[in-house]
A = this chain, B = another copy of it.
Amino acid sequence: MSTQTNGTTMTNGPQHANGSDKERVVIIGSGNWQVLSTLGSAIASVAAKNVLLHHELFHPEVKMWVFEEDYEGKPLTRVINETHMNPRYLPDIPLGDNVTAEPDLGKALQGATALVFVMPHQFFRKALDGIKGKVSQNARAVSLIKGVDVHGTKIQAYATIVNEELGISCSSLSGANIATEVAEGKFSESTLGVPSPDGFEGDPDTLPDARLWKPLFDTKTFSISVVADVEGVGLCGALKNIVAVAAGFIDGLGWGSNSKAAIMRIGMNEIKDFSLEYFPTTRAETFLEQSCGIADIITSCLGGRNRKVAEAMVKEGKPFQELEESMLKGQKLQGPETALHVHEFLAARGTKRPGGYPLFDAVWRICYEGAKPESIIDKL
């Protein structure tokens, strides 16, 4: 009952995947990773309001799979269920009384028809083993996972992997979304990429998966715009980290605002051209006009870990691996790794873009080949 379109599988079933029942939402977060656990909680707080508002469409409970950990002598899930807050990852923000934290993945997935994946990409493959076989084939998913999965000449966005591995329709949600600001109700935008028939040129808001996910996420202060481009939305969230590293180098070099704006512009164009070259269903406007594109590039180049560590690489003259230890307590930085993946991919596949992807290449050379940060502009 599914057709492969636009880089993912569309479910042709009824709008409510579980027949006459209402959609049951589960946020599949994963703890012990600050940024995305915070985003998972923020998204839960948004969804918790919207399932009540759109009660004709949703079951009133939002489940949140939370990796169990100790919080001041109590299990974190119990603290969340008693206080309706997540004191570890999103202190002082009420999640909503209808959010239930569940440490058991199988239980969390029971009956769920609307799966929201919010986890670091490196945990996803491991989590898959616990998920496979537990998901209803009528369920649909949306991925907030940042990253691309590269094996030799194959490169994939995570929504495509969810779709392939679980056999369910999967959308993407990404944007300029610093989690605490979303949770505090400060005006934010995000882009929802949904599956569409090949060559679709209609109003993306009318697509079946838009009718599920937009009501779940859209609020006056979390403004969702829909595009018929699942992969484009996912790719932005991964590739922007390369650009953020480049922006950090500019900060470290003290080259100023003109340079930094130039790097963001050039980076955006490389992201767009790379995506259009290798993902034929992606659309230029996803990168150029949407929150998941230019707006997220801007926030990542102004704040964020990738920018910060890259700046320190230049100022302290240390490799990023050493700074991951000292600045990130050993957590992995996504920008250099993504630059490496893209480099390997391009080495295997080649490119038709005149001049190649000089900014992506420079970030790889500086991170892995000992090139000087000043060389970043040499081929631009």
Contacts and interface: CB of A to CB of B under 8 A. Distances in A.
A288 interface: yes
Interface in A281-330: 288-291, 294-296, 298-299, 302-303
Contacts of A186: 255-256, 258-259
Contact of A302 (B255, B257, B296): B257
A177 interface: yes
Contacts of A377: 187, 220-221
B261 A289 contact: no
A299 B257 contact: yes
A261 B302 CA distance: 10
Q: Which of A176, A182, A260, A262 has the most chain B CB atoms inside 10 A of its CB?
A: A262
A176 B288 contact: no
Interface string A79-94: 0000000000000000
Interface string A256-278: 11111110110011000000000
Contacts of A268: 289, 294
Nearest to A221: B377
Nearest to A258: B188
Majority SS of interface residues in chain A?
A: helix
Given A294-B294, A298-B264, A259 B188 contact: yes
| Tally of this chain's copies | 2
Nearest to A222: B258
A268 B189 CA distance: 15
A302 B176 CA distance: 16
A298 B178 CA distance: 18
A176 B298 contact: no
A294 to B, nearest CB: 6
Interface in A235-267: 255-262, 264-265
A302 B303 CA distance: 13
Contact of A257 (B181, B223, B261): B181
A295 to B, nearest CB: 4
A340 to B, nearest CB: 25
A380 interface: yes
Nearest to A293: B265
Given A187-B377, A377-B187, A295 B256 contact: no
Contacts of A220: 377
A259 B181 contact: yes
Nearest to A272: B289
Contacts of A294: 264-265, 268, 294
Contacts of A298: 260-261, 264-265, 298
A156 B182 CA distance: 40
Contacts of A262: 176, 187-189, 223, 291, 295
A262 B220 CA distance: 13
Nearest to A288: B288
28 contacts: A176-B258, A176-B262, A176-B265, A181-B255, A181-B257, A181-B259, A186-B256, A186-B259, A187-B258, A187-B380, A188-B258, A188-B259, A188-B262, A220-B377, A221-B377, A223-B380, A257-B302, A258-B299, A261-B295, A261-B296, A264-B295, A264-B298, A265-B294, A265-B298, A268-B289, A288-B288, A288-B289, A294-B294
